[in-house]
Structure 1
Amino acid sequence: MDTGRSEIAERYRRRADAFEATVAAVGEEGWGRPSPCAEWDARDVVRHVVDMHSVMLRPYGRQPTPADVDADPLTAFRTARADVEAVLDDPDLAGQVTESPAGTMPGADMVDRVVSEDMVLHRWDLARATGQDDTIDPAELERMWPALQEIPDVMRVPGAFGPGVTVFGPVVEVPDDAPLQHRALGLLGRDPAWRPPAG
């Protein structure tokens, strides 16, 4: 595996580890809590991440390993990440050029730009919904910030990556002097002030 692909795989695993730890910390009573994503509860956040992992397999004609988010969100995520890691760990698949709404690129780059970064955002969603520490790694924010300012319009189009899939919502206006995490969340279509209803 070349250096670039190795870095992508390592970055994916780091982000997946963080997301998995957040999923693992949700108590059974927490799965029905509302999330910052309109009409989604905490379980739906995991369902979306699992679904996006399935999208990463489509260019290869692969089907996701069966898993049930309703029955066991943690196992479902672990299963989905194993499917994507199998692609990243295969030099031929990782380097295979694929077509995506974000353009033509090697499969590993598609994983990096879509589902890998998606987990950073949705870890915040899940943590905020379930009362966990929702701090985004400052190094992640610094790395992602330039690209966040240039998110293609297609990434905000519902269904661009498949039926029912929306990558980013409309921009939420945040003051220019707000903390970087708040500004990043605004560009990612999140209101950084959102809190789940009390009770």
Structure 2
Amino acid sequence: MPLHLLRSPWQPGPRTDARGGPAVISVTDFTATTHRQSWSVAPAGLRLRRTWPGAPGAIGLWLWADPARRRSGSVSVWTDEVALKEFVGRAGPPADRPGPQRPRRAALDAPQDQPVRRGRRLGGRAALHHRGDVMTGAPDIVTLDRIAVLETARLVDTATARDWARPTPCAGWDLRRLVAHMTAQHRGFAAAAWGTGADPACWREPEDLGEPSRIHREAVTTLLADFASEGVQERQFVLPELGRTVPGSVAIGFHFIDHVVHAWDVAVSLGVGLELPDRVLEAGLVVARRVPTDSAGRGPGRAFAPALDVPDGSGPLVETLRLLGRTPEEWPQAVGTAREV
């Protein structure tokens, strides 16, 4: 039987800007039992396609169908596997989703008006399995952290060679040093997720600071994959900076609030807007209110400066920043620019 493959136009997602870096390609392949059933699949795919412009981490989507063989599916491209897993969770339970999915790595060097074509073999039946709130779309701490980290990475990726010497709200640190610190934190928390966080070497800032964006992005990719692994919130994380071991859910909360603040640090250093959804800022405020304010844990050499008074009527971002010792009135560019995603 000759192959008559139909395909939709390339539907770009919100991250079509993510060119030149790693990507995850997901291929679905569904074979209907009857022709009547196969025609009911097409409208579902088109409804899914309409949601694409608002799917976090989505680069693009390509729907395909072979009506004669009752087969249909999709080729979707994502910035990372975490974004794919989060979307699969929002799309419904496994029984409702058309076919198995196999994530693949590829380089984002294809033109923006067509899909990435590397690694495009459609064979294979490896299913993607994951449990937990990331798969249901609920804003659990792993999802919240991912959003904050990806926003920070987006901002860092916009920096040019002339930007690295810019001052930041972190006293005594220019942007290059701040990015080195964030890179070290990503590496350290990733190691802690697998039980090796007690090694001080895992938390050291990189000695090579010649390409801060690239080194930071590599650390982000590793961290997000490790935080997305099954059971991570139930593991015990050794955190040498705190001198104690805490459950993964608590440790990821520490990392989350740190990078809500650092996302703002990078944004105001660059003089650009911060793009974090309201739900992330509100969750960050909940965590910030729980951070101890005693002098033993605040000040030079600590994660946060002493807490400052919060003016009446402050929004969640401003309150978070002041509770953690930042002075947003001195760096106004990124305040109040949150958007929903």
Q: TM-score, normalised by structure 2?
A: 0.48
The question of 1:48 aligning with 2:187 is answered no
Q: Deviations over 1:46-78 (max 9, x none)?
A: 112112223312472266599666111111112
Aligned runs of 1:79-94 on 2, under 5 Å? 79-91=218-230, 93-94=232-233
In the alignment, the residues of structure 1 paired with residue 271 and residue 159 of structure 2 have an alpha-carbon distance, to the nearest angstrom, of 9
Letter in 2 for 1:31: W
| Match of residue 120 from structure 1 | 260
In the alignment, the residues of structure 2 paired with residue 145 and residue 2 of structure 1 have an alpha-carbon distance, to the nearest angstrom, of 27
The question of 1:168 aligning with 2:304 is answered yes
Question: Could you say what the CA RMSD is over the residues aligned between the two structures, in angstroms?
Answer: 3.1
Cα shift at 1:15: 1.9
Q: Deviations over 1:88-123 (max 9, x none)?
A: 233255532234439654325412x12222111111
| Match of residue 129 from structure 1 | 269
Aligned runs of 1:176-187 on 2, under 5 Å? 176-187=312-323
In the alignment, the residues of structure 1 paired with residue 293 and residue 275 of structure 2 have an alpha-carbon distance, to the nearest angstrom, of 27
Cα shift at 1:190: 0.4
Of stretches 30-39 and 65-74 in structure 1, the one that deviates more from structure 2 is 65-74
| Match of residue 156 from structure 2 | 23
Letter in 2 for 1:24: D
In the alignment, the residues of structure 2 paired with residue 173 and residue 93 of structure 1 have an alpha-carbon distance, to the nearest angstrom, of 36
Identity of aligned residues (%): 24
Unaligned 5+ residue runs, structure 2? 1-129, 333-341
Q: Deviations over 1:124-158 (max 9, x none)?
A: 11110111113653222222223322212479346
In the alignment, the residues of structure 2 paired with residue 124 and residue 187 of structure 1 have an alpha-carbon distance, to the nearest angstrom, of 14
Instruction: Please say if residues 184 and 206 of structure 2, whose CA atoms lie closer than 8 Å, have aligned partners that are also in contact.
Output: no
Structure with the higher fraction of residues in strand conformation: 2
In the alignment, the residues of structure 1 paired with residue 262 and residue 280 of structure 2 have an alpha-carbon distance, to the nearest angstrom, of 13
Structure 1 residues 11 and 83, CA, compared in 2 at 3 Å: closer, same or farther? same
In the alignment, the residues of structure 2 paired with residue 137 and residue 30 of structure 1 have an alpha-carbon distance, to the nearest angstrom, of 26
In the alignment, the residues of structure 1 paired with residue 229 and residue 281 of structure 2 have an alpha-carbon distance, to the nearest angstrom, of 29
Q: Of the two structures, which has the highest relative contact order with CA contacts closer than 8 Å and spacing of 6 or more?
A: 1
| Match of residue 110 from structure 1 | 251
Instruction: Please say if residues 238 and 244 of structure 2, whose CA atoms lie closer than 8 Å, have aligned partners that are also in contact.
Output: yes
Spell out structure 1 runs of 4+ moving beyond 4 A.
Answer: 62-69
In the alignment, the residues of structure 2 paired with residue 69 and residue 194 of structure 1 have an alpha-carbon distance, to the nearest angstrom, of 31
Of stretches 97-106 and 32-41 in structure 1, the one that deviates more from structure 2 is 97-106
Instruction: Please say if residues 185 and 191 of structure 1, whose CA atoms lie closer than 8 Å, have aligned partners that are also in contact.
Output: yes
Cα shift at 1:16: 1.9
In the alignment, the residues of structure 2 paired with residue 108 and residue 80 of structure 1 have an alpha-carbon distance, to the nearest angstrom, of 20
| Match of residue 192 from structure 1 | 328
Unaligned 5+ residue runs, structure 1? none
Cα shift at 1:87: 2.4
Structure 1 residues 89 and 144, CA, compared in 2 at 3 Å: closer, same or farther? closer
Of stretches 131-140 and 54-63 in structure 1, the one that deviates more from structure 2 is 54-63
In the alignment, the residues of structure 2 paired with residue 102 and residue 114 of structure 1 have an alpha-carbon distance, to the nearest angstrom, of 14
Of stretches 176-185 and 25-34 in structure 1, the one that deviates more from structure 2 is 176-185
The question of 1:95 aligning with 2:198 is answered no
Larger radius of gyration: 2
Q: TM-score, normalised by structure 1?
A: 0.78
